[in-house]
Amino acid sequence: MNAPLGNTSPFNERVFEPALVPRHDGKLIGTILTEDGRLSLEDADRVLRVAQENGLRFGEAAKRLNILSEDDIQFALARQFDYFRVTPGRSTLSGELIAAYDPDSAAAEGLRALRSQLMLRWFGASALHQTLAVVSADRGEGRSWTAANLAIVFSQLGERTLLIDADLRNPRQHSMFGIDNSVGLSTLLTGRRAESCIQRIPQLRDLSILPAGMLPPNPQELLSRPFFDMFLSEIRKQYDVILLDTPAAAVNADAQTIAARAGSAVLITQKDISRSTRIKRVLNDIRETGAQVVGSVISKH
């Protein structure tokens, strides 16, 4: 859009404003665990006394008293260093979100390597490079998994990250993040105001999700409307990194439309599954839109 939006924008700014999440800078482990409900005030006092009497660290004293587990200690340490991780059994997030549950795993390390490459090739190359479409030729090639986990590792870097589920045919992000899908991108693209479309993920600071919303009968037409450009122009003011999950690119033209709006795309392929002829066709289709193909990734998920 060349003209400023001014007061003509159909979007309510409150939709795009990231919620403020309390930070734990400078807080002690006991304070963090008490606020999270993992440690009572009485137990915190007991642990503190034992720690002082025996010259122990708070976590060591808590484990000696069998009040806290190693997972509890690691959770608090992650909070102290602004490295949010999720504890299994204490979250509605899907186990597929390996970057949240097991950031020390080989898979998570691979995602961080991908993040580094994208920062060098796209996001860090220009202040104007904020949006990236995640595409694949077919379903089942790991596109949505990669988009979700990649959004998490960007948020762990401290980047204000928004993941948009732009797959208005077979959306998955709402189920992986355990959020409501009654309103979302489709709601906004029909021009209706919805103040809760973008949802914060409280377990993962700096990460927000815009689910797909109700499935429309005309996804291609919705994504081609000027509203989509206006929407992306608005949210670029609020986020550092914006990732867009897309439908299978070889099945319909939605992904190409989304990539054109984003200005760039990364292609996800599946080892021994993705077909080279379909990959080449998708790459050519995306390039013809004027979008830059930043790179390709071989997924095992």
Please give the DSSP secondary-structure letter assigned to residue 129. -
Predicted TM-score (pTM) of this structure: 0.76
For every residue of 65-122, DSSP letters joined together read TTSS-HHHHHHHHHHHTT-----TTS--S-TT-HHHH-TTSHHHHHHHHHHHHHIIII
If we measure between CA atoms, which residue out of 22, 72, 26 comes closest to residue 47? 72
The order of strands in the sheet holding 199-200 is 199-200, 207-210, 161-165, 241-245, 131-135, 264-270, 292-299
Separation of CA 107 from chain center: 16
- Tens-digit pLDDT profile for the chain (301 aa)? 333 333 334 444 444 444 334 444 446 777 777 877 888 888 888 888 888 888 888 888 888 888 888 777 766 766 665 555 666 666 789 999 999 988 889 999 999 999 999 999 899 777 679 999 999 999 999 999 999 999 999 998 889 999 999 999 999 999 999 999 999 999 999 887 766 799 999 888 799 999 999 999 999 999 999 989 999 998 999 999 999 999 999 999 999 999 999 999 999 999 888 899 999 999 999 999 999 999 999 887 7
Tokens of 162: 């928004």
Query: Quick one: which H or E segment has residue 133?
Result: strand 131-135
